[in-house]
Chain A
Amino acid sequence: MSVFARTHLPLIIFVVCTFWVFFEFFIPIPGGPAITSMLGKWVSAVSNFALLLGALNILRFHGRNIVQRRENEWLHGIIIIASMFTMFIAGLAFKPYFKLLYDNIYMGLNTALMCYVGFYFYSAMYRTFKVRSLEALITLFACISMLLSNAPISGAIWGPLPQIGIWIANVPGMGAWRGFIMSAALGMFAMAIRAALGLERAYLGGSE
């Protein structure tokens, strides 16, 4: 029972669900669409619990830091949990403060924090992006072309300048990404077949 519950039952559920949803799309089965709709709604419910799991994990991780008084971490844990509960309670009972926190912290402060991605990207462009081979030179040329095509001032400097980057993105760049997309879709098929045959179990959260 133990081995069945831990290993075989999840695999049976995976295979039955995958085959049902996939083949119901191609083979008309009486009542099939209604069952698939119901399964879709169930996935929505379970996904809600998965998202809640993420929030609970934050509480567990930082709660543990606070209880164990981990050096340099427990004060930050208090700030995180306090602000988390403030937002939660504001959502339940104090809507104007919820909106205030959403606009200023969730949107505004989050945007300010994400600014450093741009800063470090520019730093990486100067310090890391060094041409050491022909391929790197090609990559650099494509990057500079795209940068110039996204800047309206480049058209004012020389009319056809933005067109180079646009051509690179529309023709060879698009061709490359079409190859990636098709390869990824074929890879997805291979992974799904492997999972259905029980050869892939990473989605179950690790083996024991």
Chain B
Amino acid sequence: MAYEIFTALIMGALGVMAWSIMYKINVGYRIAEDLTVGVMGGYVLYSITDNTMSNFITPLIKGDLMNIVPVFLGVLLWGQLLKPSSRWIARPSLAFITGIGAAIALKGAVYGNILVPIQAMSTPPGTDPWTVINHVIAAIATITSMTYFFFTVQHKGALKPVASIGRIIMMVGFGSIAGSSVLSNTTFLYNRAQWFIKTPYAWIPLTLAGMAIIVDIVRTKSSKQP
């Protein structure tokens, strides 16, 4: 019980320190930020070390010599930590992972990002009038927005109105993304609001912070008065 109260008070205080930047820049926010960065870095350090040791280093030590090449390439990658004139030793590793990654992305993109959308654009999903109308509008939206990106040809003549419509369609797309991103961006706040209310004693640091802000505002206003 005491442990839960202690954790709730500490985490409540840290949460309030994280939010304090909304009122004024202060050292409390930096401390909360530093703790988060440190713990996340430590988590990555532990998790990846454990993963590397168990999947590659330990099998190598036990005799699986096929792991020599990837471990060697991985160690070469740490050449990025050296002085700039020596960083070239990391290039073979970078070229290796970039080359394989690019090819894998490309072969998936041929089917997944190009052929399938073109196929979907050519056939409406249903026969009722509204479905067909929506399908035609979406196809026009796709073609006009792609036209806007063809910088190799100047947007004049017949291309100009097409590119202009494409620009407007893109604005609609951006507005739609902006509106839907609001829910994403505020979900963190909803989560913390629920935590502060549902966790016993977590309201104490929040209330104390609110009182401190009120005292600060009153003090600032009274010092400004002649």
Contact = CB atoms under 8 A, between A and B. Distances in A.
Given A46-B93, A150-B183, A176-B170, 20 more contacts: A39-B100, A40-B100, A41-B70, A45-B55, A51-B48, A52-B45, A80-B41, A83-B37, A105-B35, A108-B15, A135-B168, A139-B172, A139-B175, A171-B137, A172-B141, A174-B141, A176-B169, A183-B149, A203-B94, A205-B90
B41 A58 contact: yes
Interface in A1-41: 5-6, 9-11, 13-22, 25-26, 38-41
A87 B102 contact: no
Contact of A165 (B166, B168, B179): B179
Interface in B136-184: 137-146, 149, 166-183
Contacts, number: 372
Nearest to B191: A111
A10 B95 contact: yes
B97 A87 contact: no
A13 B92 contact: yes
A13 to B, nearest CB: 4
A41 B96 CA distance: 12
B172 A173 contact: yes
A176 B148 CA distance: 11
Say which size band chain B's interface belongs to.
35 or more
B141 A195 contact: no
Given A55-B44, A106-B40, A188-B105, A50 B141 contact: no
Nearest to A173: B176
B212 interface: no
A66 interface: no
A175, A184, A195 — which one has the most chain B CB atoms within 10 A of its CB?
A: A175
Interface string A58-83: 11100000000000000010011111
Nearest to A15: B99
A46 B91 contact: no
A137 to B, nearest CB: 9
9 contacts: A18-B99, A84-B45, A87-B42, A109-B18, A111-B191, A118-B186, A171-B141, A179-B142, A179-B149
Given A48-B51, A79-B35, A17 B103 contact: yes
Contact of B48 (A55, A58, A139, A172): A55
Nearest to A174: B138
Contact of A14 (B98, B143, B166): B98
B96 A188 contact: no
A144 interface: yes
A81 B188 contact: no
B99 A112 contact: no
